[in-house]
Amino acid sequence: MSLNTWLLFVTTVFFVSATPGPNMLLAMTHGIHYGVRRTLMTCFGLMTALGLIMFGSAAGLGAVLATSELLFSLVKYAGAAYLIYLGIKTWRSQPQPVEEVRGAASGKHTPWGMFRTGFLVAMSNPKAFIFFTALFPQFMNAQQPQGPQLAILAATFYVIEASWQLAYAGGGARLAGWLNSARRLKLVNKVSGGAFVGAGVLLSSVSRH
């Protein structure tokens, strides 16, 4: 892999990762409510899922999803249902002062609960498998060993994606002081919940192509 090819990959992934989507929305929402330090578990869940998606794509799962309408639809509707569920749950949640939420240590506020939510959100989109299957080969030299190239691309993607997640979480945390009122937090819950529902509805309409 040449340096120019790698730099082109960096530029592509930088802008793709920066685009707001369910992963970044979740990182920002958790950053608002829980702060950057606790949101690291959410990001860890997101990145764990993305690692599995990349591995699955390299192993051929992306190609299977691209050719099997039934399997693609099952994964797609399951993911859409989870995003819609998460959106309704967020929409209906009662606003709590940010400091109270950050100090909570039970239920959905546990590190495991935040990791699980991040993992499930990232795994909810079957299109991601096809995305990695289609993206990585564009930057790989077929005449050179594939393993090292794949490792470089995966590591590069990981660094850029994780950086953007932390940036969104940090942005949310900085907004927490201004949002620390019942009216504003209720608005955040409505906007975030509506965005997750919208993402779920959009996901349910995507095709394999």
pLDDT in tens, 17-67: 887 778 888 898 888 888 888 899 999 999 999 988 888 877 765 566 667
Q: What is the mean pLDDT of residues 158-187?
A: 80
* pLDDT at site 189: 72
Look at residues 192, 165, 201 and name the one whose alpha carbon lies nearest to residue 95: 192
* pLDDT at site 46: 93
Q: Is the pLDDT of residue 187 over 80?
A: no
pLDDT above 90 covers a percentage of the chain that reads 14
Q: Is the pLDDT of residue 106 over 70?
A: no
* pLDDT at site 105: 46
Whole-model pTM: value is: 0.71
Instruction: Please spell the DSSP secondary structure of the chain, one letter per residue.
Output: --HHHHHHHHHHHHHHHHS--HHHHHHHHHHHHHHHHHHHHHHHHHHHHHHHHHHHHHTTHHHHHHH-HHHHHHHHHHHHHHHHHHHHHHHHSPP--HHHHHH--SGGGSHHHHHHHHHHHHHT-THHHHHHHHHGGGG--TTS-HHHHHHHHHHHHHHHHHHHHHHHHHHHHHHHHHH-SHHHHHHHHHHHHHHHHHHHHHHHH----
Q: Is the pLDDT of residue 150 over 80?
A: yes
Please check whether residue 109 is in contact with residue 101, taking contact to mean a CB–CB distance below 8 angstroms: yes
How would residue 163 be classed by pLDDT, with cut points 50, 70 and 90? very high
Using alpha carbons, list the distances in angstroms from residue 61 to 67, 83, 86, 106.
10, 22, 26, 36
* pLDDT at site 65: 60
Q: What is the mean pLDDT of residues 84-111?
A: 63
